[in-house]
Amino acid sequence: MPIYFVCKARSVTDPALPMLARTPTASPLRKCDNEPMYTLLRQALFAADPETAHSLALEGLRLSHGLGASQWLCKAVHQPRTVMGLQFPNPVGLAAGMDKNGDYVDALGSLGFGFIEVGTVTPRAQAGNPKPRVFRLEKANAMINRLGFNNKGVDHLVAQVRKRKFGGVLGINIGKNSATTQDKAVDDYLYCFDRVYRHADYITINISSPNTKGLRDLQGAAQLDKLLGALSDKRNELTETHMKHTPMVVKVAPDLDEQQISEISQVIVRHQIEGLIATNTTLSRETVKGLRHADETGGLSGAPVRNQANHVLAAFRNVLPPEVALIGTGGISCGADAAEKIQLGADLVQFYTGFVYQGPDLVSDCVSAITARARP
């Protein structure tokens, strides 16, 4: 039997929507059908702790892809569009964090994603925070994580993505090592940027994960100006060396106010950044108060972050010129959530937590809903 999540659909013009990021309100769950096979698989996976389930699911997917069976899990979804000068087979992507090392690009790609973002990767391999560090808030279709950029380092990721056969767009998301002091943060980004430049279709500058001390400070106007200035100069150099222009995308937090959004937008325009991802996980617990694990430290993702992420997305669309592409991320649990982000001004959408709860059908659901909403 499919699982049904009861929801109250809500118009984006609803005057009751909260003021920007100040008072996050619960994002009502829409009705989402789970594919019955995935419902069973999910039950089995959720019996394990979240990190074990994550590894089991990805290894299982890789195996089934190797056997040529993973295509059965998805419907072909071709709705091409050009964004940032790149050809996307469809506008629905996998958000960063699920494949931090680029180990599963082809297996995940076989599920129909138009683009996959790997990372966050740092210059050197690091273990991340002590376990347990990922928690499911099942009643809210949500997760809290404080992984802290556990990854095998940028050289491993580059070796992996060079082997890919995935025909969609590949984003590589870069960050800094936790041991790197704040005054040396720019060097870590420059190092990763240089290493991944040739191999990425676009590069995401992650300045919004809440689990690396000081990372979010890079969203401040002065620090961001310095970071993006250095990366733009580096890009000019690499464009010549490799005869290839790789678009840059900045990923921001949902915990931003209007002033910060305005300042970040000015810096993005000044340095001719092609895109922005709104948003990463939130530090707010407003929408999950009283739920099991709600008090765990880390970033909250999934359905409860949707309203807040949507407000930040819409606010950036308001102030950024149309040539800056927007990728809407945060709280997509069904097709209607994806279509809503496009309606708010996103050119593309991505999800992570919704994929854990809804399974591979979420890809085609989102593509169909976006296509249907686009029709006159």
Ligand X SMILES: Cc1cc2nc3c(=O)[nH]c(=O)nc-3n(C[C@H](O)[C@H](O)[C@H](O)COP(=O)(O)O)c2cc1C
352 binding ligand X? (CB under 6 A): yes
Separation between Cα atoms, residue 335 and residue 332, nearest integer Å: 8
Separation between Cα atoms, residue 343 and residue 54, nearest integer Å: 32
Q: Show which residues are catalytic.
A: 209
Q: Report the residue number whose CB is nearest to ligand X.
A: 97
Residues 32-91 that bind ligand X (CB under 6 A): none
Q: Of the candidates 353, 359, 365, 366, which one interacts with ligand X according to CB under 6 A?
A: 353
Q: At which residue do the structure tokens 């430049």 appear?
A: 197
360 binding ligand X? (CB under 6 A): no
Residue 237 contacts residue 213 (beta carbons within 8 Å): no
Q: At which residue do the structure tokens 């949707």 appear?
A: 306
- Residue 82, strand partner residues: 87
27 binding ligand X? (CB under 6 A): no
Q: Please give the torsion angle defined by the CA atoms of residues 152, 153, 156 and 162, in that order, rounded to the nearest 10 degrees.
A: 130
| Shorter beta-carbon distance to ligand X: residue 305 or 324 | 305
| Shortest Å distance, C-beta 65 to ligand X | 21
Helix axes 50-66, 36-45, angle to 10 degrees: 130
Stretch that binds ligand X, among 93-101, 215-223, 231-239, 339-347 (CB under 6 A): 93-101
93 binding ligand X? (CB under 6 A): no
Stretch that binds ligand X, among 217-225, 264-272, 325-333, 358-366 (CB under 6 A): 325-333
Helix axes 154-162, 185-196, angle to 10 degrees: 20
| Shorter beta-carbon distance to ligand X: residue 104 or 351 | 351
> How many residues sit close enough to ligand X to count as binding (CB under 6 A)?
27
Residue 362 contacts residue 334 (beta carbons within 8 Å): yes
* Number of helices followed by number of strands (H, E) in the chain: 11, 13
209 binding ligand X? (CB under 6 A): yes
134 binding ligand X? (CB under 6 A): yes
Tell me which residues touch ligand X (CB under 6 A): 95-97, 100, 120, 134, 143, 145, 147, 149, 173, 206, 209, 251, 280-281, 301-302, 305, 329-332, 351-354
